[in-house]
Amino acid sequence: MIGSPFVLKEHNSVRFTMIKVMAALIPGTLAHAWFFGPGIWVSLIWCGLLGIGFEAMSLVVRGRPLQPALTDGSVLLTAWLLALSVPTLAPWWLYMTGMFFAVVVAKQLYGGLGQNLFNPAMVGYAALIISFPVYMTQWAAPAALANYLPNLSDAFDLVFSGASITPDAYTSATVLDSLKTATRGGHTIMDTFSQPIYGLIAGKGMELVAMMYLFGGLFLIANRLITWHIPVAFLTAIALTAGALWQIDPIHHADPLFHLLAGGAMLGAFFIATDPVTASTTPRGKLIFAGLAGVLTVIIRTYGGFPDGVAFSILILNSAAPLIDAFTQPRVFGHTKGGKAGQ
């Protein structure tokens, strides 16, 4: 997603790069607010404040200066990604727990920006879905289907005071969760897709949100903030794996386009898997890293215990990234496999 801080040129500082990446997230976030209500802004602001607080606390405890860590924008980007990954209108303490794991455990305990092995936002997400699975399945329903659409004031009350509005009035299962539950119960894809939460291709509303993440990702590629290798390999692997399962059993497996536009596939492809600190950095390594992550995403979605596999597949491959890089280093010019040229 960004170049390593120590190789960035002055005009392309970490802060400037982070601002560009967050700008690329704006179209998807606006689409999210349009289809699922303004509660996402409460989540974003709260996660941002928590991120800055945890970052400052960690730096003080470690005896490190607050600058430039608090102003480089990295913690705000982590907060933004986590807010988009956690159900909108979740209790305040759920976001706090996720940000603690993202900033303190996954980032600062490893030494700070550039030293972490795992993607911080995905560590926070994984900690939440393992520890609080019920809360992590209560996603805001599309505005067209919600019995009650909270405005900004209501969203604030729901997050911080636990207003006495039953979650059934404004939440629903995700299409991935619904699909897994239905197919395991013996229902066919056709029967499952007849439910109101499904749109033309994937989830109602979320398919257009995914397209906005794609648009933002293309902006990153056009501005050379990321290369094409990881997004293309990740999305291609998802399409091929889902397509193989669909060809084998189209009655119980969704088509590839559904998997590309459902869940966090687009967000993961362009904004999470592309993190250079935790992903492979060589050209061949990026293709292997992202390809394996895409395959694991579909396998976890289909056979695993969690609805979406994007976070876990990326975390698993984060641990393998150093090994992948070690075996995919480009050959030094003038050297052969057995040693120096001419030996």
**pLDDT tens by residue, 62-88:** 999 888 778 889 999 999 999 999 999
Residue-level pLDDT at 266: 97
CB 138 within 8 A of CB 160: no
Residue-level pLDDT at 143: 74
Which is more confidently placed, 166 or 94?
Answer: 94
Nearest CA-CA partner of 49 in 111, 92, 109, 105: 92
Task: List, for residues 224-265, the tens digit of each pLDDT value.
Answer: 999 999 999 999 999 999 999 999 999 989 999 999 999 999
Q: How confident is the model at residue 192 (pLDDT cuts 50, 70, 90)?
A: confident
Q: Is the pLDDT of residue 147 over 80?
A: no
Residue-level pLDDT at 343: 41
SS3 117: coil
Q: Is 119 left (phi over 0), alpha (psi -120 to 50) or beta?
A: beta
Which is more confidently placed, 177 or 124?
Answer: 124
Instruction: Please tell me the least confidently modeled range out of 2-16, 44-58, 221-235, 245-259.
Output: 2-16
Rounded Cα–Cα distance for residues 131 and 125 (Å): 10
Residue-level pLDDT at 256: 96
Question: Whole-prediction pTM value?
Answer: 0.89
Q: Does the bond joining 68 to the residue before it have cis omega, within 30 degrees of 0?
A: yes
Residue-level pLDDT at 11: 39
- CB neighbour burial string for 243-252, b if at least 16 within 10 angstroms, e if fewer: bebbeeeeeb
Q: What is the average per-residue pLDDT within 45-65? A: 94
Share of the chain above pLDDT 70, in %: 90
Residue-level pLDDT at 41: 96
Share of the chain above pLDDT 90, in %: 61
Distances in Å between the Cα of 306 and the Cα atoms of 53, 129, 243, 273, 320 are: 30, 8, 20, 19, 22
CB 301 within 8 A of CB 247: no
Residue-level pLDDT at 211: 96
Q: Is the pLDDT of residue 207 over 80?
A: yes
Highest mean pLDDT among 56-65, 309-318, 325-334: 309-318
Residue-level pLDDT at 164: 55
